[in-house]
Structure 1
């Protein structure tokens, strides 16, 4: 498998018209070496510029609703794992997790 591309995890969100790409994607090692499962939460790795980092609502949390696996189609394009997520602002009861990320 020398020369093959790495798998890539791509985020989609269903906003009522079916899953749409939301310009979020990661290598598995950027997600702790694992692929999130349905029911897992993924924290967006930042907050908007000038946001209060002590405000839980400044953080985005993605909940994984579905997973689709697309096998590698060529040496150029590695396998894709499509996650359908629902985004929401962080909650105050999650603040310790959010600010330490």
Structure 2
């Protein structure tokens, strides 16, 4: 599963939307001050609502894990257990082959 790139945060679409909203606000404010103030209040209310929703979902308010995430975590857990079992099997096989009493009895 591909992970999002960490170094392209400035290419996110939300910045384009915010820049467009600010530009539209500036155009409307230049056209009519009262209409510009109303547009500014509407933009601020929308931004505040967006911020609340973003904080709500980022703070872990949804206790349910997504099915994809839980399936991925289960797969990784099984993979770790399988690798650990293989390592233990190799170690027990190596210990069985190298016993001090058996090495002296062989001709």
After TM superposition, the score normalised by the length of structure 1 is: 0.21
Larger helix fraction of residues: 2
Structure ranking higher on relative contact order (CA contacts 8 Å, 6+ apart): 1
Larger strand fraction of residues? 1
Bigger Rg over Cα: 2
* TM-score w.r.t. length of structure 2: 0.21
